[in-house]
Amino acid sequence: MNHFLDIHTTDPTALRGMIDSAIAMKQARNGRPKGTPDDDRVLDGRMVALIFEKPSTRTRVSFDVGVRQLGGQTMVLSGKEMQLGHGETIADTARVLSRYVDLIMIRTFEEATLLEMAEHATVPVINGLTNRTHPCQIMADVMTYEEHRGPIAGKKVVWAGDGNNVCASFIHAAGQFGFDFTFTGPQTLDPEREWIDFAREKGVTVAVERNPEAAVTGADLVVTDTWVSMHDPESAKERRHNQLRPYQINERLMGLAKPDALFMHCLPAHRNDEATSAVMDGPHSVIFDEAENRLHAQKAVLRWCLGV
Ligand code: CP
Ligand code: NVA
């Protein structure tokens, strides 16, 4: 049994295996109807709980569809409607759910909640986003890059904007998959030092560049995300917008990247804030492939967790 808690805590060989398996599973479906199961229904008879303490469109639907394509069943649970939201401990919730289901996916606020769930569950736990990281997203992003452009190793990935949870998992992936990473944004929104040190110790270059033009020049992949995340206070919004406006990905900035550079955004986006619609719908953008690949990448994660 394997938990999938983060990219930096998962073995790089396992991560590579999951990306390759995701691409193979996507190809094997080859356009068949989305509601039909895969030929090998490896989750036949298995039940998966999907717990959400924050809103979600992609994570919720892609996990639900993915489990069903693998032949399993799901139940989607809202944190607020569970006793968890009314004082039952995470540990007791983990022990109880482990008696009913074969795997738990949780989207939550504090990383400590995820870790406590994993510590006390006797079934695998998957991180569906915390305030600190979003590993499933970046598995889909690595898959998407490689589908379009081949190996991501050695490439230059530039993150513009807030050094948030999605950025954190991208930095972990830089270390584990061997690509260079540049963060560009204001100092107050820098990614955590711990993550930068992790990737550097793995031997890749992690740069922090305040000038967005200098950062994006020569990029193979340009990535951004919302300026205000679900866990950020609404009161942060105005200041963030003022600070981050110079880091908006528009056609001028995108034009400084390599001619064949890709543009990614995990979505949901605030169009014409962090990225213009011209870029999001433009020739470099692969945002909807990213969204689709959540499905395929997470199927690979589910299989790895359950060893099937
Ligand atoms: N990218 C992502 O995780 O989207 P949702 O919040 O819709 O799940
Ligand atoms: N950084 C965003 C990602 C949403 C998928 C958030 O945490 O709200």
243: Cβ contacts below 8 Å, ≥ 6 apart: 186, 188, 189
pLDDT in the model for residue 42? 98
CA 75 to CA 57: how far, in whole Å?
A: 15
Ligand 1 centre from 62 Cα, in Å?
A: 9
pLDDT in the model for residue 30? 85
Per-residue pLDDT of the chain (308 residues; tens, 9 = 90+): 899 999 999 999 999 999 999 999 999 998 899 999 999 999 999 999 999 999 999 999 999 999 999 999 999 999 999 999 899 999 999 999 999 999 999 999 999 999 999 999 999 999 999 999 999 999 999 999 999 999 999 999 999 999 999 999 999 999 999 999 999 999 999 999 999 999 999 999 999 999 999 999 999 999 999 999 999 999 999 999 999 999 999 999 999 999 999 999 999 999 999 999 999 999 999 999 999 999 999 999 999 999 99
The protein residue whose alpha carbon is closest to atom 1 in ligand 1 is 266
Query: Which pairing describes strands 206-208 and 47-52: parallel, antiparallel, or unpaired?
Result: unpaired
Residue 289 designated active-site:
no
The protein residue whose alpha carbon is closest to atom 7 in ligand 1 is 57
Residue 294 designated active-site:
yes
CA 157 to CA 142: how far, in whole Å?
A: 11
List alpha helices for 8-128, DSSP H.
12-29, 58-69, 90-100, 111-120
In the 8-state DSSP scheme, what is residue 32?
-
Question: Ligand nearest 225 Cα, by number?
Answer: 2
CA 120 to CA 101: how far, in whole Å?
A: 14
Please count the other Cβ atoms lying within 10 Å of the Cβ belonging to residue 225: 26
Residue 266 designated active-site:
yes
CA 69 to CA 63: how far, in whole Å?
A: 10
Q: Is 41 left (phi over 0), alpha (psi -120 to 50) or beta?
A: beta
* Cα distances (angstroms) measured from residue 190 to each of 11, 110, 173, 185: 26, 19, 17, 7
- Per annotation, catalytic residue among 46, 64, 137, 305: 137
pLDDT in the model for residue 85? 86
CA 161 to chain centre: 16
Ligand 2 centre from 244 Cα, in Å?
A: 16
- Per annotation, catalytic residue among 225, 284, 296, 303: 225
CA 15 to CA 301: how far, in whole Å?
A: 9
CA 64 to CA 58: how far, in whole Å?
A: 10
- Kindly give the number of the ligand 2 atom that is closest to the alpha carbon of 165: 1
